[in-house]
Amino acid sequence: MGVILAQVAVSGILLGGVYALISIGLTLIFGVLRVVNFAHGEFLMIAMYASFWLFHQYGLDPYVSIPIVVALLFVVGVIAMLLVIRPILRASPSMQIAATVGLSTLLQNLALVTLTANYRSVETKLSRMVLSIGPLVMGVSRLVAFLVALAITGLLFLFLQRTYLGKAIRCTAQDRTAALLMGINIDRVYLLTFAIGSALVGVAGALLMQLYPVFPTVGTYFVLAAFVVVVLGGLGNLTGALLGGFIIGLVEAFSGFYVPELKEAVYFVVFIIVLLVRPTGLFGVVGAEEVGLK
């Protein structure tokens, strides 16, 4: 029994790594722009479809195509920022939500109309390989996804801590006005942040393509989990998103083991409890007052 539980835990942690990666972009965007991008899941979907297409059209191994997908999502982020997000930055929260929900609906159904609802998968040699460590078994793809997720997160942290742009982003997240007064070009910081957040989800999408099939509504499934992670970790808190990812990964793995039919309900219930009891999340929140979380 212990081995089985350990196995479940391992799956949970591996899954958690990927959840963390999806969520980090979302929380970064919120921390800086104070906007919840309800279309985040659709960006993930776009990344997955891109990875799929590059594989089937050009035979590009999904790991190899990661940089391309990242670049693509960066561009998608820029476009979305300029066309949809920037015009609504000053609007009321309701209107911001409406706009990103509109974007989400638009993208989802665009995919549905042009690509059909069929499930599509990528199968490489790696897809079936498993690694055994003692009695524990893990899919190699999952392990690689986990490691890449950690690596990218690490790079992100380094970027935010060490580079000027990274610091500018952190400043803007902490105090918009002060950053402005210090000569930081807020507009550009917003744009860059949104694009980076989107690019991060690009990596996640490319990694996930090896683990799951893609279909137009795949984004919804993952983005709801990402919201739970982000709220749990504290909106705007990157470390929180990382840890939250692991927690939710474990929660999902264990509830999948004990109550498979209610698996999703469990983390939604966790979500509701966190929102009602401690909306600032486990690790506190940037700009809580602005969104009325006093």
Partner 1 sequence: MSTPMQREGTMFSTYRFIPTSSLYTLVGLAAVVSVLAFNVADKFYLHVLIMMLFYAAVSSAWNIVGGFAGQLSLGHAAFFGIGAYTSSLLFINFGISPWIGMLIGGVLATLVAGAIGWPSFRLRGPFFTLVTIAFAEVLRILTLYAHDLTRGSIGISVPFRPAVGNFIFRQLSAYAVVALIFLMLTVMVNLWIESSRLGYYLAALREDEDAAQALGIDTARYKLVATLVSAFLTALGGTFYAQYILFIEPFAIFSLDFSVLLAMMAIIGGIGTVWGPVAGAFLVTPLQEGLQAKLGGELHGLHLVVYGAALIVVVILLPQGIVPSIAGRVKRAFGHHEARPAPPVKGES
Residues that bind partner 1 (CB under 8 A): 36, 84, 87-88, 90-99, 101-110, 112-113, 117, 216, 220, 224, 227, 231, 261-262, 264-265, 268-269, 271-272, 275-276, 279, 291-293
Name the minimum Å distance from CB 236 to partner 1.
Answer: 12
- Residue 197: C-alpha distances to residues 27, 71, 73, 219 (Å): 8, 12, 9, 15
Name the minimum Å distance from CB 185 to partner 1.
Answer: 21
User: What's the CA gap between 164 and 159, in Å, rounded?
Assistant: 9
26 alpha carbon, distance to own chain's centre: 6
Name the minimum Å distance from CB 38 to partner 1.
Answer: 8
Name the minimum Å distance from CB 56 to partner 1.
Answer: 22
Choice between 174 and 220, CB closer to partner 1: 220
Choice between 62 and 77, CB closer to partner 1: 77
Q: How far apart are the first and last CA of the chain?
A: 44
Contact 44, 201 (CB under 8 A): yes
User: What's the CA gap between 184 and 182, in Å, rounded?
Assistant: 6
Name the minimum Å distance from CB 109 to partner 1.
Answer: 4
Residue matched to tokens 């966190």: 274
User: What's the CA gap between 140 and 20, in Å, rounded?
Assistant: 19
User: What's the CA gap between 246 and 180, in Å, rounded?
Assistant: 35
Name the minimum Å distance from CB 105 to partner 1.
Answer: 4
Choice between 94 and 177, CB closer to partner 1: 94
User: What's the CA gap between 289 and 293, in Å, rounded?
Assistant: 5
Choice between 4 and 112, CB closer to partner 1: 112
Choice between 16 and 219, CB closer to partner 1: 219
Choice between 34 and 142, CB closer to partner 1: 34
Nearest 5°: CA angle at 142, between 67 and 193? 40
Name the minimum Å distance from CB 224 to partner 1.
Answer: 7
Nearest 5°: CA angle at 135, between 133 and 140? 40
User: What's the CA gap between 199 and 216, in Å, rounded?
Assistant: 19
Nearest 5°: CA angle at 30, between 271 and 181? 150
Choice between 13 and 78, CB closer to partner 1: 78
Contact 225, 215 (CB under 8 A): no
Name the minimum Å distance from CB 263 to partner 1.
Answer: 9
Choice between 9 and 224, CB closer to partner 1: 224
